[in-house]
């Protein structure tokens, strides 16, 4: 903003609520609607949680400790705002303009920042002595130091030149994000997905990228002293190849399917324990009954509608995998990684064996953070010690399931969930979920 002196106006909760009401009327096409203009307003500590503020203007606003949890801020103008210690957990910020915003200490757990712009930016006004004077909320624009982006969706976001030292990106999705020349000293990325991200020229000194996904990530000319990449998934094969190439692997799977369909009369079972199967891309609707793939890498593989009854998938990496509608009755997924996997409508109930015996599926010790389990059949499943943090469980059937010591932080549980379970001893955040 140039050519006009900037003045800040403090808003009360009532004034902010009235502006939000008018904005929501505008979005829904009702009479009396008007776009919310909060530019250069002081809204420190106000509660705007759950509000629909799509396209609202907050440029230059003071929003310290403001509550935006679960608010819709899609395409909102948050240019050069002061969002220190604000609560943006679960908020939708798709394509929001956050250039120059100060996010020091902000909570963005589970927020959706798809294609958001977090690059540098500043507001300037006319100054008699300096010509143009840059307004700074603190230190410098584009600062996200100490912010909590745990589990946030930052896919295709723009963070070029951002100052994000010590920021927490644990389990965040940063696919295709642009982080060139960013200050990421001491930042935490454990379990984060940085597939195709560009971190060229960034400072990653003492950054923790353990167990992250770095497939196709650009790390040219980065400062990497003290950087931890233990357990990270890269372009290099993470295990032995099951065949000479993916074509031979596909033939092995075809033989396995024939073995299943003919009751063992033709074909032969295949062993894929510890193998890297990412190159297969899709195994959708394939017959993979009793598949042996303990510790296998199946990151991002399409397994929609696959028959995986009784499959041995202990410790397998199924992050970002599509298992929608897959038949996993009686499957052993203990210790498996299923972060951000799609399990909508999957069958994880018991497998009926001869003489009416039941083989329960196992998710014991599995990690299913930010997983979609909507409409999933989990009857009788053994989920002892499993981590379901921030997962979606709408319409899930958990009758007679064992959730002892399971973590349910940030989960919206279906009605009568506790009553359905056979054992919930020591479950974490059962009442708060």
Q: Tens digits of per-residue pLDDT, 8-27? A: 899 999 999 999 999 999 99
What pLDDT does residue 242 have?
A: 64
Domain for residue 261, yes or no?
yes
What's the chain's average pLDDT?
90
Domain for residue 354, yes or no?
yes
For residue 255, the enclosing domain spans: 237-433
Domain for residue 376, yes or no?
yes
Q: How many other CB atoms sit within 10 Å of the CB of residue 45?
A: 13
314/335 Cα distance (integer angstroms):
6
34/27 Cα distance (integer angstroms):
9
User: Is the distance from CB of 171 to CB of 189 less than 8 angstroms?
Assistant: no
Domain for residue 37, yes or no?
no
User: Is the distance from CB of 41 to CB of 60 less than 8 angstroms?
Assistant: no
Written as six digits, the tokens of 147 are 């912010």
230/247 Cα distance (integer angstroms):
30
322/303 Cα distance (integer angstroms):
5
Domain for residue 269, yes or no?
yes
Domain total for the chain? 1
pTM of the model: 0.85
Average pLDDT over residues 178-186: 95
Give pLDDT tens digits for 263-311: 888 888 888 999 999 888 889 999 999 999 999 999 999 999 999 999 9
What pLDDT does residue 134 have?
A: 45
Domain for residue 318, yes or no?
yes
What pLDDT does residue 4 have?
A: 59
Domain for residue 300, yes or no?
yes
* pLDDT classification of 354: cutoffs 50, 70, 90: confident
Domain for residue 140, yes or no?
no
Strand runs (DSSP E) across 144-230, as ranges? none
345 Cβ contact list (under 8 Å, min separation 6) = 324, 325, 374, 375, 376
Residue 333 belongs to a domain with what CATH number? Answer: 2.160.20.80
Q: What percent of the chain has pLDDT over 90?
A: 76
């Amino acid at each position: 903003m140039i050519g006009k002196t900037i003045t800040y106006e403090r808003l009360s909760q009532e004034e902010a609520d009235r502006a939000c009401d008018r904005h929501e009327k505008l979005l829904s096409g009702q009479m009396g609607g008007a776009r919310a203009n909060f530019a250069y307003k002081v809204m420190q500590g106000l509660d705007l949680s759950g509000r629909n503020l799509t396209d609202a203007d907050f440029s230059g606003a003071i929003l310290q400790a403001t509550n935006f949890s679960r608010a819709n801020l899609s395409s909102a103008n948050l240019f050069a705002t002061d969002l220190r210690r604000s609560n943006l957990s679960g908020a939708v910020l798709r394509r929001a303009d956050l250039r120059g915003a100060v996010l020091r200490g902000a909570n963005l757990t589970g927020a959706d920042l798809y294609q958001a712009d977090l690059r540098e930016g500043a507001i300037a006004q006319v100054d008699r002595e300096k010509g143009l004077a840059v307004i700074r909320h603190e230190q410098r624009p584009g600062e996200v130091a100490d912010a909590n982006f745990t589990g946030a969706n930052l896919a295709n976001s723009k963070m070029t030149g951002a100052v994000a030292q010590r920021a927490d990106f644990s389990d965040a999705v940063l696919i295709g994000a642009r982080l060139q020349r960013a200050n990421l000293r001491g930042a935490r990325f454990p379990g984060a997905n940085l597939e195709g991200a560009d971190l060229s020229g960034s400072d990653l000194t003492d950054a923790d990228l353990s167990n992250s996904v770095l497939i196709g990530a650009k790390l040219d000319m980065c400062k990497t002293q003290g950087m931890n990449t233990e357990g990270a998934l890269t372009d290099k094969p993470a295990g032995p190849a099951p065949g000479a190439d993916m074509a031979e692997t596909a033939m092995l799977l075809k033989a396995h399917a024939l073995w299943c369909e003919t009751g063992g009369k033709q074909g032969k079972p295949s062993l894929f324990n510890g193998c890297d199967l990412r190159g297969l891309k899709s195994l959708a609707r394939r017959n993979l009954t009793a598949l042996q793939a303990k510790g296998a890498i199946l990151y991002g593989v399409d397994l929609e509608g696959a028959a995986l009854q009784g499959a041995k998938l202990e410790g397998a990496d199924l992050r970002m995998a599509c298992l929608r509608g897959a038949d996993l009755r009686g499957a052993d997924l203990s210790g498996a990684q299923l972060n951000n996997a799609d399990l909508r409508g999957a069958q994880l109930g018991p497998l009926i064996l001869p003489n009416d015996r039941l083989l329960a599926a196992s998710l014991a010790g599995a990690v299913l953070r930010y997983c979609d389990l909507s409409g999933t059949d989990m009857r009788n499943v053994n989920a002892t010690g499993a981590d379901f943090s921030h997962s979606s469980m709408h319409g899930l059937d958990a009758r007679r399931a064992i959730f002892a010591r399971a973590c349910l932080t940030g989960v919206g549980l279906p009605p009568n969930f506790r009553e359905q379970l056979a054992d919930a001893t020591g479950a974490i955040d059962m009442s708060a979920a």
